Amino acid sequence: MTDLICTLLYVAWLLLIVWIILSYVVNFGRLGWGHPVRRIYDAMSNVINPVLMPIRRMMPPLRAGSVGLDLSPIVLFLAIVVLQRLVCG
């Protein structure tokens, strides 16, 4: 059972890293709506955003002038790493 949890945490960690990278590609790459990378990003967002919403409610984006910095992916990333350390050793 522990191996399954460790594997799921590792997959969640990888998905979060890929989602963060794709968010930069989509937002700064000016990809069209039908682009395959954008479709992958949108599908991953449908899975990851519901997990991030409670974190975003507790911790709104930091404001730096007209730019908002969303730290919720970093908090989720740290939570996954802590769970990995506790469960997987």
Parallel, antiparallel, or unpaired for β 67-69 and 62-64?
antiparallel
| Beta carbons within 8 Å of 18's beta carbon, 6+ residues apart | 44
Summarize the confidence of residues 46-55 as an average pLDDT.
95
Task: Write down the pTM of the prediction.
Answer: 0.85
Structure confidence at residue 19 as a pLDDT band (50, 70, 90): very high
pLDDT score for 22? 93
pLDDT of residue 36: 92
In the chain, domain spans: 2-88
